[in-house]
Structure 1
Amino acid sequence: MVFTDADQIRDAPAPFDDHAADLILRSSDNVDFRVHRQVLAVASPVFADMFDLPPPSPDIGGSVDERRNGLIVVDMAEDERALRLLLGFCYPVMEPALEDLELVKLALRLAQKFQMLQSVARYVQPGLKLLAADAPEQVYAVASAYELRAVALVAARASLSRPILTKGRIPLYPEFTDVSGFDVLRLLRFQQACSERAVDAVTDLRWLRRVEIPFKDAYKGYGLVWQTCDVGDKCTHALAHVPLKLEDAWTFKPKPWVMTYLETARAALHDSANSAVLARFDTLRPAFEEAALCASCGKIAASALPNFSRLLTARVENAISQVELETAL
């Protein structure tokens, strides 16, 4: 038995099986979607222009598929999946589920083709921002390609946990084929600027007030305080040679293990401008180990260093939040 193309045509399920429809859109893989012209014309200027054209006459040649059940059939370049997604944006009661980045990319391509980018972009942006947590660079590229600035900024900030130039072998993300060299450089400069701001935040502590320091200290006069512990002069730790300048002209001379933590924190932020690194055990461990050489300092460090890391974390987050993506000249 020989099957013709007509035998292989399938009907799309609800809501695209409405017999009150006045048009059929046929996907490239032969699935018929029964739709309403007025709905499509309102949603897309491309459809509106298409419907302004005179319909083909059944008496003038043409294929047998030009009409079905009395309805004009329009052959579409999109397959069933893409056409269902497109129509989901046309019908106001439908909200397509965009579960992964590939589906979002398809939605944006269709929206651009059918001149629906503004409305579709508004719908996909919340989902794109969520996807940025796991695929920051790819989402950044997609957002840049479609000029979704707010999404691009969210993705750029998500990329700070592992900047491109610290990945070893730099991956070739296919999404970057659709962006300019400027967009690539803009991301690299953003990562660099955030790293610099983060390191500065834990280097210059003149934003920190004496009362906020979670370490035991003693006043020595002339705006100088020095770190102490419960065993006083019997502590195995001498004071650090380099004092820390604090807010309101206070100078703080900490134990060496505090400086060790700050140095480790700066190194971690240099590689990853992500405030979360400040509270990680790998960042705190060298200071914990050094503090433990004095039993009293060890006890103080156990609670004081995590508290100190929270102060620094808030400061770093504030510093990074002020970095914006550059715009083209």
Structure 2
Amino acid sequence: MKRIKFPPSISTVVMSDSLTPLSDPDPPVGASPPFDHAKADVILRSSDGIDFRVFKLFLSLASQFFETLFGLPQPAEGTSTDIEIKDGLHVIPVSEDSRTLDSLLRFCYPCTLAEDPTLEDFREVVDVLEAARKYSLDGIERAICKALFKPKILEVNSLRCFAIACRTRMQDECVLAAKYTLREPLVPKWFEEIELITSTEFLSLLTYHRKCSNALLMLNDDLSWIQIEYSQRNAIPWIVARNSSDNHCGCPLSSPARRLFGLCTAQWWEDFMNSTFLDLGDKPCADTIRSNVEKAIHTVRQRNCRSCSPTVPAAMREFGTLLMKKLEELTSEVSFPIIDTHVRCLIYRLYTRSSWTWSFDI
């Protein structure tokens, strides 16, 4: 192993947020296949001291960044700046750890030499995404996003996906994840990835959540949309507590202030509406409506009303579907302030850190 001196005026991109030491307390070790090839023409050294012997061609084809980097002129020997040479190859220190670098490089390599990695850990996804963006690996970035931002994953990990989207500044995915977070309470439980986002981004999410909840209140304050949908009271006898003869079925009625087609509604339905919209204030999503519909059906069955008990289950589920449709219409009109959020984040990051440090030349 030897070192070549570079002149101070010559510099190259070190793909890190800070200078990486040229030597570590422990000697670097080689990476596992396929990043141990004897005919490789450059070495990438991870932050935890693992040497990846790779081919410039594969990285250059995957990224214009690498193509430009490897195309820089070679410095002459006898210069005053150190760069390590190992086995006749230039060693480039990077800020990524070996786990992240291994996943990133597998995406760059042909499938005949390395299969795409399976990214299951959310932190690992964040690290690989950030590295892909830093090195302009656009195709890899899209592949990771496609795998991560799927409905099944978003339904369970919406907040974590939102944090990842914010951290990696993916606007479309950020908006998509924000919509899925409506399934969570307004003030969610702590999650590890919350440390990835700024207070501004989190406040924007809470504001979006509250706006969606407020947009639904009109559906409970003004029932005219129900009359428009059903046209006449005979279509909703179960709501206004009427039997098949259009007489009062016997179920308790709500206050005179709540009327449909000039009639007071059933008290159980009034309770359903109030309970549902109270819950929608915290979780403005379809699941909230489904849950309250089933509770209302259970309540009616317990009352054993001869008119309502047989008809309410199917009728209420149909009404729930209508209410979910209205929810989707109103919440879709609420925009998430993603552009302003990311502008502020960009300014913040420009003040607190730089993307790359220029220190070596190849």
Shorter-normalised TM-score: what interval?
0.7 to 0.9
Please say if 1:236 is aligned against 2:250.
Answer: yes
Q: What's the CA shift string for 1:84-130, capped at 9, x where partnerless?
A: 122133335453322221111111232244344x4443222223323
* Residue equivalent to 1:221: none
Query: For residue 132 of structure 1, what is the amino acid of its counterpart?
Result: L
Stretch deviating more after TM superposition (262-271 or 207-216):
207-216
* Residue equivalent to 2:326: 315
* Alignment counterpart, residue 103 of structure 1, candidates 124, 144, 165: 124
Query: For residue 154 of structure 2, what is the amino acid of its counterpart?
Result: A
* Residue equivalent to 1:263: 274
Query: For residue 279 of structure 1, what is the amino acid of its counterpart?
Result: R
CA distance in 2 between partners of 1:176 and 1:216 (Å): 46
Instruction: Please state how far the C-alpha of 1:140 moved relative to its aligned partner.
Output: 1.5
Question: 1:40·1:47 contact (CA, 8 Å) conserved in 2?
Answer: yes
Stretch deviating more after TM superposition (193-202 or 266-275):
193-202
Please say if 1:305 is aligned against 2:324.
Answer: no
Question: 1:278·1:313 contact (CA, 8 Å) conserved in 2?
Answer: yes
Matches within 5 A, 1:111-130: 111-116=132-137, 118-130=138-150
Change (3 A) 1:234 1:198: closer
Question: 1:24·1:73 contact (CA, 8 Å) conserved in 2?
Answer: yes
Matches within 5 A, 1:2-151: 9-14=29-34, 16-51=35-70, 52-54=72-74, 57=77, 66-68=85-87, 70-91=88-109, 93=111, 95-116=116-137, 118-130=138-150, 131-151=153-173
Please say if 1:196 is aligned against 2:214.
Answer: yes
CA distance in 2 between partners of 1:276 and 1:137 (Å): 17
* Residue equivalent to 1:277: 288
SS in 1 for 2:224: coil
Instruction: Please state how far the C-alpha of 1:244 moved relative to its aligned partner.
Output: 4.4
CA distance in 1 between partners of 2:234 and 2:209 (Å): 31
CA distance in 2 between partners of 1:103 and 1:97 (Å): 10
Instruction: Please state how far the C-alpha of 1:231 moved relative to its aligned partner.
Output: 6.6
* Alignment counterpart, residue 157 of structure 1, candidates 179, 186, 202: 179
Instruction: Please state how far the C-alpha of 1:39 moved relative to its aligned partner.
Output: 2.6
CA distance in 2 between partners of 1:158 and 1:232 (Å): 43
Task: Show structure 1 runs of 5+ residues with no match.
Answer: 219-224
Question: 2:237·2:246 contact (CA, 8 Å) conserved in 1?
Answer: no
Work out which structure has the larger RCO, using CA pairs closer than 8 Å and 6 or more positions apart in sequence. 2
Instruction: Please state how far the C-alpha of 1:201 moved relative to its aligned partner.
Output: 3.2
Q: What's the CA shift string for 1:248-300, capped at 9, x where partnerless?
A: xx6564333222222221122122111112121x5543564357252222222
Question: 1:202·1:265 contact (CA, 8 Å) conserved in 2?
Answer: no
SS in 2 for 1:66: strand
SS in 2 for 1:33: strand
CA distance in 1 between partners of 2:157 and 2:284 (Å): 17
Q: What is the TM-score of this pair, normalised by structure 2? A: 0.70
CA distance in 2 between partners of 1:75 and 1:262 (Å): 61
Change (3 A) 1:49 1:233: closer
Q: What's the CA shift string for 1:131-181, capped at 9, x where partnerless?
A: 43223223212212322122112221221122342x4xx52x454444343
Query: For residue 96 of structure 1, what is the amino acid of its counterpart?
Result: P
CA distance in 2 between partners of 1:146 and 1:124 (Å): 12
Query: For residue 146 of structure 2, what is the amino acid of its counterpart?
Result: P
Instruction: Please state how far the C-alpha of 1:232 moved relative to its aligned partner.
Output: 5.4
Give identity over the alignment, percent: 25
Instruction: Please state how far the C-alpha of 1:190 moved relative to its aligned partner.
Output: 0.7
* Residue equivalent to 2:15: none
Query: For residue 125 of structure 1, what is the amino acid of its counterpart?
Result: C
Question: 1:257·1:288 contact (CA, 8 Å) conserved in 2?
Answer: no
Q: What's the CA shift string for 1:174-195, capped at 9, x where partnerless?
A: 5444434331221011100111
Question: 1:140·1:155 contact (CA, 8 Å) conserved in 2?
Answer: yes
Change (3 A) 1:80 1:226: closer
Question: 2:185·2:283 contact (CA, 8 Å) conserved in 1?
Answer: yes
SS in 1 for 2:53: strand
* Residue equivalent to 2:8: none
* Residue equivalent to 2:355: none
